[in-house]
Amino acid sequence: MADSNFVDYVKIFCASGNGGQGSKHFMRTRTNSRGGPDGGDGGRGGHVILRGDSQLWTLLHLKYTKHLKAEHGEAGSKQLMHGANGKDVFIDVPLGTIARDAETGHIECEITEEGQTFILVPGGRGGLGNDHFKTATRQTPRFAQPGEPGLESWKILELKILADVGLVGFPNAGKSTLLSVISAAKPQIADYPFTTLVPNLGIVKYHQQKSFVMADIPGIIEGAHDGKGLGLRFLRHIERNSILLFIVPVDTKDIRKEYQILLEELNQYNPELLDKTRVLAITKSDLADNEIIDEFKKDLPSIPCIFISSHKKTGLEQLKEILWKELNP
């Protein structure tokens, strides 16, 4: 997908419909000129509803739709006829979308399943017709309930990519190259920082038609949790991944230290990320001989580690096997 087509944050104005007015009608016929109350209820105002759509990968379709308004409910009428409900407005969003109140920042819902719905802004209730207010002592109520007004508010929608495996590493660590050779994804690749400006998804095929989804998250730098570099814009995508695959190139000065820096950035952003399963892949291993690799192995973190080369395509099958086993313990 083109970089300009990936939108993972939008702010929208939502207005639900007003409830319809209850009717204060009295039954009148040729044979009965003083019939009792028969006013019907007003219809409900339309809701603004979020709905999960697995075919969507971005919030682009909402980028230029800033105002969403549902229809008002219709008034009740004679013969106890109920007013029509206002038409609801459905907002289709990708799986992994969260909605929060723009004023308070409170998270109101998370859409994670196909067809899942959530009433983001409820419509006003319709008013009761005068038929509801008749009693033994008040047989001709000449009043009815007005409909409730609809609600208005600004909402923020944020997309957090849903993937089995998320690639975590500094810029130029080889994340995009790995995704391109291990899946059918075609991310932009170049030898300079921040080539990846949007998350890229790829489906990694495993044995016997099994597969899992891998996400290439734009590179992290020190201070990303404070918003430096691409910072907070993409750290939130890591929250949805089942496994974090740390990517460190073999030619870095200190593999363990670089891994610890990445880990600390995640910890500063959200300590719960450290509870996720972690795997370390040391990329560009074709640049080091076996003797150097053996030395590196003596000081690696106590998590599953593997040396791979996307260029030579070595260690990739073993990496798939490790990831599959961690996904399916």
- The answer to whether 130 and 141 are in contact (CB under 8 A) is yes
- The 10 Å Cβ neighbour count of residue 158 is 18
* Mean pLDDT, contiguous 10-residue spans, the chain (329 residues): 65 96 89 84 97 89 90 94 96 92 93 95 96 88 94 93 84 82 60 51 81 78 47 67 91 90 86 91 89 87 92 91 91
Report pLDDT for 89. 97
C-alpha torsion 161→165→170→173, nearest 10: -130
Report pLDDT for 84. 96
* Span(s) in the chain for CATH 3.40.50.300: 165-327
1-159 CATH pick, 3.40.630.30, 2.70.210.12, 3.10.105.10, 2.60.120.200:
2.70.210.12
- The answer to whether 266 and 274 are in contact (CB under 8 A) is yes
Report pLDDT for 40. 94
**pTM, whole model, 2 decimals?**
0.70
CA distance 171 to 67: 37
CA distance 266 to 244: 11
Residue by residue, what is the 3-state secondary structure of the chain? CCHHHCCCEEEEEEECCCCCCCCCCECCCCCCCCCCECCCCCCCCCCEEEEECCCCCCCHHHCCCCEEECCCCCCCECCCECCCCCCCEEEEECCCEEEEECCCCCEEEEECCCCCEEEEECCCCCCCCHHHHCCCCCCCCCCCCCCCCCCEEEEEEEECCCCCEEEECCCCCCHHHHHHHHCCCCCCCCCCCCCCCCCEEEEEECHHHCEEEEEECCCCCCCHHHCCCCHHHHHHHHCCCCEEEEEEECCCCCHHHHHHHHHHHHHHHCHHHHHCEEEEEEECHHHCCHHHHHHHHCCCCCCCEEECECCCCECHHHHHHHHHHHHCC
CA distance 225 to 233: 10
CA distance 309 to 196: 20
For residue 320, the one-letter residue type is K
CATH architecture of 165-327: 3-Layer(aba) Sandwich (3.40)
Return the residue matching tokens 């870095």: 252
* Span(s) in the chain for CATH 2.70.210.12: 1-159
Residue 30's contacts (CB-CB under 8 Å, 6 or more residues apart) are none
